[in-house]
Amino acid sequence: MLITSAGALKKRLKAAFPDRELIVRSQGQVRFIRISSGMQKAGAALMASLVGASCLSMGALALSEFSTRSEQAALASREAQVASAASKVARYREDLNGTVADLARRQQFIEKMIDAHIGELPEEAQAGAAATGKAPEAADKISAALPAAGKLAQIKAEQVALVERLTRYADHRASLASDAIRKLGLNPAPMMARARSKVAEGGPLESLATGADGSLDPRFRRLGLSLARMDALESGLASIPQVQPAHVAYVSSSYGYRSDPFTGGAAFHAGLDFPGPMGSPIYAAAKGKVSFVGQRQGYGNCIEISHGNGLMTRYGHLSAFGVRVGQDVDGGTRIAAMGSTGRSTGSHLHFEVRVNNRPMNPRPFLEAARNVQQEAR
């Protein structure tokens, strides 16, 4: 059916949509069709739903893109960390031979110091070495990927622990020797000064190092200095007269004032006289080097032994010599035979102790030195 006029069209729409107002343009005039409020609300709700769905879709897309980018960034970070760890392990693996060589040099240093200054490794040092050693945390991390590295780090820690323990051990022994020397009325400082002096030294160069570049770990240097100090003081203590030079029952003439056996006048006696049978053995009172063998006025046949640090012992009135100049002797070494040469009234040994050529009473040395030595040990 054809609609022939605007009025007819309006009527038809009115009949179809009784609650709505529609806009219709006819022959230049605007006419209205009414739409109910319920229909308007429904349309608005539909439009809001469409807009909401569109926003949710766009948000989901954005969230998905952000999540993808975050995962890519995290993956890239993990790849970088793995690459860095692999690089560290590779570098450590490349340097493994150098590390082993350094450990060997350190071990050689320790063994040389023990052999030269201590001899048998003290039990307390052995017990403490492994107990105090602990591998560094960084080495522990690397050892997870390269177990050999962790073992080397542990060995290095144990070496350092042993060096530090040996240093304390050497310092303790040096302190005991120093105290013992002072008890005998002597000053240990000159002994240390002599050890540090550069007079009359030499020999082929045998450098000590703990690094491939020739460097020396400060802790190892400290051990070397402590051992050298210990040696100087203990050597000085051992050089102090402590052995009875003649096995006799008594001393016939003491140090100091006496009546001269020839003139009867007042005289100073610079030593001790040990009487005994002709030919009785005479012993070095301490370790040292024979510096004189021959005759001296008043002493007859005489031997002098230098013990270092200005300390010297003199043995007079001998009937025979048993050593030569330059010979090294230990305390208790037989050096001569008792006699009555020189200014003497009978077979005996005249024994002197001199410090920087100044006579000192030998009795305190002979009586106290042995006990002091035992205490120091």
| 245-249, 333-337, 365-369, 371-375: the lowest-pLDDT one | 371-375
Per-residue pLDDT tens over the stretch 70-110: 767 667 677 667 666 666 666 666 666 667 777 788 888 88
Count CA atoms closer than 13 A to 246's CA, side-chain side.
31
Position 117 scores a pLDDT of: 79
The rounded percent of the chain whose pLDDT value lies above 70 is: 59
Distance separating alpha carbons of residues 310 and 356, to the nearest angstrom: 5
Distance separating alpha carbons of residues 357 and 310, to the nearest angstrom: 7
Helix boundaries (H) for 216-358: 218-238
The per-residue DSSP string of 69-107 comes to: HHHHHHHHHHHHHHHHHHHHHHHHHHTHHHHHHHHHHHH
DSSP E strand stretches across the chain: 21-26, 29-34, 256-259, 266-269, 272-275, 281-283, 288-296, 300-308, 311-316, 318-321, 328-329, 334-338, 348-355, 358-360
Contact criterion met (CB below 8 Å) for 316 and 300: yes
User: If you average pLDDT over residues 255-265, what whole number do you get?
Assistant: 88
CA dihedral 132, 138, 139, 140 (to 10 degrees): 80
Helix boundaries (H) for 186-217: 189-196
**Which pLDDT band holds residue 215 (cuts at 50, 70, 90)?**
confident
Contact criterion met (CB below 8 Å) for 284 and 336: no
- β-partners of residue 334 are 283
